[in-house]
Amino acid sequence: MAQKTTHGLLPLLPPPTTSQSPTAAPAASRSSRAFSKIKFGLLAGVLAISTFWAYSCSVGGCNHGEAPVFGGDEWEDDYAGVNEGISGRLGYTLVKDIPAESIPGRGKRGVKKGEGDDKRLIIVGDIHGMFDEFQSLLDKVSYDSESDYLVLAGDIISKGPDSLAVLDFARKIGAHCVRGNHEDRILLHYHDIQRRKRKHHLALSVERKLAKSLSKKQAEWLDACPLVVRAEKVPGLGQYYIVHAGLVHGIGLRRQDPVAIMTMRTLNHHLVPSPKQNGMHWAKYWNKMERRETHGHTTVVYGHYAAEGLDIRRYTKGLDSGCIRGRRLSAYILKANKGGRVEEDIVSVKCREYLD
């Protein structure tokens, strides 16, 4: 009887024994116990081997040596690179904190407690290389790099017309960022290109072209975008997390799947995140659980879910309003009013239709 085993090894376990007769002699029962021990030993051995195999893949990558070749269309839109056994070499930062003095309502700068300050936290959703729209949005909110802390919520580049212009401008004005699934893919290509000794002249996919056109400085800036930007103790509002796609409520940052942080849209009934749209919107679950919290709240600001559009709930703020498809580019703004209370605001601009 053929038995399917891990990694194509021959079945190590003997076939199941037929049921023992209740009248079996004690000697038979002793030998059956000994047999159980052997079975247990074999099982432990198989487990140890497969664990080691999985571990060595996760650390070094299974295809040691040759890096994966990237095509164009066979890569799904939501594919991200961090889980390709390559993360150790690619590297990413999990979380960066916004300095306390940059958080609205917590400032010093000659402002008395309980009074407003001029600091704002501005978070912009998926820009996708839409440079003109990004500029008009910053004009509309009167962006001031002195007093504003600007965070781009991922998918800053790729798909759109002027990815490099957006990147250079973001760097110039001191914007901060989180890593989106598109940054992750482009970086995966970038590092793959850097690693290759043999230059090949095959037709390059659009993404690979973009990766190839990145300067070292641009790639370094992208590489430094963490998965999560955190603002602690926003007065009256609690903690804020900024991510590209989402988080699973009740799971610490270090235990979240890094790929899911950049790709999730829904959860299944075991709370496993998925990039697919059929399932419970992770933000719905987040709000449901957050409403029960009694010791302070955490709000998540994110992008990625263009199909839902601008999706502002009490404890989640979805900002991908579909700029690349001719809808809007949106910013979420936190600012302390004159009484020192921090208030939220949404500002958006119309986008030209680049993709349909």
Contacting residues toward Mn ion, per CB under 5 A: 155, 180-181, 304
d(CA 169, CA 132): 11
Of residues 237 and 259, the one with the C-beta less far from Mn ion: 259
Of residues 263 and 298, the one with the C-beta less far from Mn ion: 263
**220-to-22, 91, 175, 223 alpha-carbon distances in Å:** 71, 11, 14, 5
Of residues 181 and 316, the one with the C-beta less far from Mn ion: 181
d(CA 337, CA 7): 62
Find the residue with minimal CB distance to Mn ion. 304
Give me the amino acid identity at 272: V
Of residues 210 and 342, the one with the C-beta less far from Mn ion: 210
* DSSP annotation string for 59-118: HH-SS-SSPPPP-STTS-TT--STTTTTHHHH----EEEPPGGGSTT---TTPPTTS--S
The least distance separating Mn ion from the CB of residue 239, rounded to whole angstroms, comes to 23
| Pairing verdict, β 148-152 and 120-124 | parallel
Collapse the DSSP code of 305 into the 3-class scheme (helix H, G, I; strand E, B; otherwise coil) and give the result.
Answer: coil
| Phi/psi-derived region of residue 255, left when phi > 0, alpha when psi is between -120 and 50, beta in every other case | alpha
The least distance separating Mn ion from the CB of residue 157, rounded to whole angstroms, comes to 11
The least distance separating Mn ion from the CB of residue 155, rounded to whole angstroms, comes to 4
The least distance separating Mn ion from the CB of residue 234, rounded to whole angstroms, comes to 25
Of residues 181 and 298, the one with the C-beta less far from Mn ion: 181
Of residues 119 and 185, the one with the C-beta less far from Mn ion: 185
The least distance separating Mn ion from the CB of residue 263, rounded to whole angstroms, comes to 7
The least distance separating Mn ion from the CB of residue 109, rounded to whole angstroms, comes to 36
Burial class (CB in 10 A: 0-12, 13-18, 19+), 347: middle
